[in-house]
């Protein structure tokens, strides 16, 4: 049986571990030069910052995952630096691009997709200025390269990553000029009972917040970012506090993000149907609790199957591999399956509370000013998308044809969700009715010689 595992983050590592335990040697494909995924991303060779400095409280887990990764790689057909850019489910084949230039094809009988997540952005005026990044990118700059995006950055958005990234910058010596959380303190407080489903993580989050306050970082909750200002680069954030007073905070960089969205384009190409998850306010691929999808032979795990965090990614990676073994009538550890199911049920409760604690500010996306560049690849403004709605676009794919939103390099990975919010608001329909941009190959841009 030919099994391919895509992604070598926490989910991919634990999936491969279970497959090997059952005697299956998968082909293991990873776009990055090495595994570890987003949270445990390794710095390039020659960088000397240790686990403690890189991963903080997650250092022990990072070390364990890296050790597992290194032990597993030689026992698989390990293909780092390789992008899967297309899946052809009828032929049981996927298309790859290795080291930025070599095209390849791989046949499979079963697939475990562990493709992770990416930042979710709400475009605000000025977000395309140099000096503005996503929260995740700001963190990766620090984690993977030991570089700060600025000496006085501003952090904008909501969710655990907002507070964590701000604290990591403060500890690295780049004190944030402002942490602007769009969520009111009370919303977080009301969700706190549910967060006790994972008390250690909850307490760690509280420590992050307390530590930022202790460092006297300016924190604004229930606040609204209005615009990033600057000539040629970001130099200030204009924002409104909960009492509707306007402020301008000088800065030299901005990191923004409102949680994560699944990187699920490969699931889409593999023929997995999607459903709208109102709690996460994300379109997520359909799967059961073990990671089985309605597409034959396709399994999903980790954040690519719906945002769950790193712990869930490890559990769900192992669980998807067990589901595959069970479906193929191979032997597997039944007590491990029961343990994983129990843990995943508990973690799902924690995640639901986390989503309530840091809700996506749909109103901010829906009401962005007309002149805001919504799709930066094609420079389409929110106003142009609203014009497409007036011309009769009933959902995002038609709006794409009329306005070019989502037609650029990112293939709608960044602008797709906010475009749906703007369109739904303009049409007076629900976000489900506004729909989602269909996945198209290549999932990421390919060099022209490769296409030719």
**What is the binding site for ligand FAD (CB under 6 A)?**
6-12, 29-32, 37-39, 83-84, 114-119, 136, 139-140, 161, 164, 260, 263, 266, 302-304, 309-310, 313, 443
Cβ closest to ligand FAD, residue 139 vs residue 158: 139
Least distance from ligand FAD to the Cβ atom of residue 383, Å: 30
Of 64, 9, 11, whose CA–CA distance to 321 is shortest? 11
Cβ closest to ligand FAD, residue 144 vs residue 175: 144
Least distance from ligand FAD to the Cβ atom of residue 353, Å: 16
Least distance from ligand FAD to the Cβ atom of residue 309, Å: 4
How far apart CA 350 and CA 362 sit, in angstroms, is 22
Are 166 and 176 in contact by the 8 Å Cβ rule? The answer is yes
Tell me the C-alpha to C-alpha distance, in Å, between residue 244 and each of 135, 184, 189.
25, 14, 22
Instruction: Look up residue 220 and give its two tokens.
Output: 């604004």
Cβ closest to ligand FAD, residue 135 vs residue 178: 135
Strands (E), 176-318: 178-181, 219-221, 224-229, 236-240, 246-250, 253-258, 260-262, 274-277, 282-285, 298-300
Cβ closest to ligand FAD, residue 141 vs residue 227: 141
> What is the C-alpha radius of gyration for the chain, rounded to an integer number of angstroms?
22
Least distance from ligand FAD to the Cβ atom of residue 118, Å: 5
Least distance from ligand FAD to the Cβ atom of residue 126, Å: 22
Least distance from ligand FAD to the Cβ atom of residue 117, Å: 5
Cβ closest to ligand FAD, residue 116 vs residue 412: 116
Cβ closest to ligand FAD, residue 65 vs residue 219: 65
SS3 84: strand
Cβ closest to ligand FAD, residue 137 vs residue 387: 137
Are 152 and 189 in contact by the 8 Å Cβ rule? The answer is no
Q: Which residues pair with 107 in a beta bridge?
A: 93
Least distance from ligand FAD to the Cβ atom of residue 304, Å: 6
Q: If 0-12 CB within 10 Å is exposed, 13-18 middle and 19+ buried, where does residue 7 land?
A: buried
How far apart CA 400 and CA 370 sit, in angstroms, is 17
Cβ closest to ligand FAD, residue 117 vs residue 420: 117
Cβ closest to ligand FAD, residue 230 vs residue 406: 406
- CB-side exposure of 350: number of CA atoms within 13 Å? 22
Instruction: Look up residue 55 and give its two tokens.
Output: 């991963």
How far apart CA 307 and CA 116 sit, in angstroms, is 8
* Angle separating helix axes 382-390 and 396-403, nearest 10 degrees: 110
Least distance from ligand FAD to the Cβ atom of residue 236, Å: 25
Least distance from ligand FAD to the Cβ atom of residue 61, Å: 9
């Amino acid at each position: 049986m030919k099994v391919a595992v895509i992604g070598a983050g926490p989910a991919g590592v634990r999936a491969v571990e279970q497959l090997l335990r059952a005697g299956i040697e998968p082909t293991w494909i990873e776009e990055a030069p090495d595994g570890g995924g987003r949270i445990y991303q390794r710095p390039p060779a020659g960088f000397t910052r240790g686990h403690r400095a890189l991963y903080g409280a997650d250092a022990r887990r990072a070390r364990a995952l890296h050790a597992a990764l290194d032990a597993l790689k030689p026992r698989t057909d390990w293909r780092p630096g390789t992008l899967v850019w297309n899946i052809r489910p009828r032929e049981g084949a996927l298309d790859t691009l290795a080291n930025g230039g070599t095209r390849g094809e791989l046949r499979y009988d079963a697939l475990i997709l562990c493709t992770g997540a990416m930042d979710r952005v709400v475009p605000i005026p000025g977000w395309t200025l140099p000096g503005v990044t996503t929260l995740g990118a700001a963190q990766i700059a620090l984690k993977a390269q030991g570089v700060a995006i600025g000496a006085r950055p501003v952090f904008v958005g909501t969710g655990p990553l907002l507070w964590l990234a701000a604290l990591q910058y403060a500890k690295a010596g780049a004190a944030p000029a402002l942490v602007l959380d769009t969520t009111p303190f009370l919303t977080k407080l009301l969700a706190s009972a549910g967060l006790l489903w994972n008390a250690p993580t909850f307490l760690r989050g509280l420590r992050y917040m307390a530590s930022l306050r202790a460092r006297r970082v300016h924190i604004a909750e229930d606040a609204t970012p209005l615009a990033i200002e600057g000539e040629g680069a970001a130099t200030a954030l204009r924002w409104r506090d909960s009492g509707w007073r306007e402020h301008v905070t000088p800065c030299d960089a901005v990191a923004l993000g409102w949680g994560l969205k699944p990187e699920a384009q490969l699931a889409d190409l593999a023929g997995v149907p999607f459903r709208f998850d109102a709690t996460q306010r994300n379109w997520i691929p359909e799967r059961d609790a073990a990671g089985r999808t309605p597409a034959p032979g396709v399994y999903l795990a980790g954040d690519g199957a719906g945002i769950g965090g790193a712990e869930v990614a490890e559990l769900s990676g192992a669980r998807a591999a067990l589901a595959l073994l069970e479906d193929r009538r191979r032997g597997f550890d039944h007590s491990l399956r029961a343990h994983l199911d129990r843990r995943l049920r508990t973690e799902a409760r924690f995640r639901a509370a986390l989503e309530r604690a840091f809700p996506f500010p749909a109103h901010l996306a829906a009401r962005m000013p007309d002149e805001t560049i919504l799709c930066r690849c094609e420079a389409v403004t929110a106003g142009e998308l609203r014009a497409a709605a007036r011309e009769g676009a009933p959902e995002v794919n038609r709006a794409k044809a009329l306005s070019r939103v989502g037609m650029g390099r990112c293939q709608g990975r960044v602008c797709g969700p906010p475009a749906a919010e703007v369109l739904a608001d303009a049409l007076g329909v629900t976000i489900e009715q506004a729909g989602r941009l269909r996945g198209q190959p290549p999932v990421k841009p390919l060099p022209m010689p490769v296409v030719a």
